[in-house]
């Protein structure tokens, strides 16, 4: 069965500092990996995806993520965090063995302080 782990429930960072949200995954075959963001009282919004190709993928709002096959990780990064980045971030994986079903991690709350 495929799974996603986000080891940190919450990440605190000062505005202007780099932000990293960790994600590791387990899936049979090649993974499709995603990051979504959820602002308060809103649905999830797509940030970025890794399907194939360059291990570093760039997404919305200045976010990027690095696919590391040997470490089965897909950490989300932003070089300089903004207060408006405070939200709940979800990593997700999809693999063919699970019928293309998307499995989400437990989410990581990011709090960016001014």
Partner 1 sequence: DTAVSQTPKYLVTQMGNDKSIKCEQNLGHDTMYWYKQDSKKFLKIMFSYNNKELIINETVPNRFSPKSPDKAHLNLHINSLELGDSAVYFCASRRTELSEKLFFGSGTQLSVL
Instruction: Give the footprint of partner 1 on this chain (CB under 8 A).
Output: 32, 34, 36, 38, 41-46, 49, 51, 88, 90, 94, 99-104, 106-107, 109
Pick between residue 57 and residue 112 the one whose CB is nearest to partner 1: 57
Beta carbon of residue 77, minimum distance to partner 1 (angstroms, whole number): 20
Q: Which one-letter DSSP state was computed for residue 70?
A: T
Pick between residue 81 and residue 93 the one whose CB is nearest to partner 1: 93
**Residue pair 63/76 in contact by the 8 Å Cβ criterion:** yes
Beta carbon of residue 82, minimum distance to partner 1 (angstroms, whole number): 22
Of residues 100, 80, 81, 106, the one with CA closest to residue 24: 106
Beta carbon of residue 16, minimum distance to partner 1 (angstroms, whole number): 27
Pick between residue 18 and residue 32 the one whose CB is nearest to partner 1: 32
Q: Could you tell me which residues come within 8 angstroms of residue 27 by beta carbon, excluding any fewer than 6 positions away?
A: 2, 3, 93, 94, 95, 97, 98
Place of tokens 């959820």: 38
């Amino acid at each position: 069965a495929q799974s996603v782990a986000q080891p940190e429930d919450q990440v605190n960072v000062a505005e202007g500092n780099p932000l990293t949200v960790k994600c590791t995954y387990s899936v049979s075959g090649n993974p499709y990996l995603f990051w979504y963001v959820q602002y308060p009282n809103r649905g999830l919004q797509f940030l970025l995806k890794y399907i194939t190709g360059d291990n570093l993928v760039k997404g919305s709002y200045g976010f990027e993520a690095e696919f590391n096959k040997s470490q089965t990780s897909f950490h989300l990064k932003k070089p300089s965090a903004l207060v408006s980045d405070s939200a709940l971030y979800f990593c997700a994986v999809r693999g063919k063995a699970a019928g293309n079903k998307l499995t989400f991690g437990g989410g990581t709350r990011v709090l960016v302080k001014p």
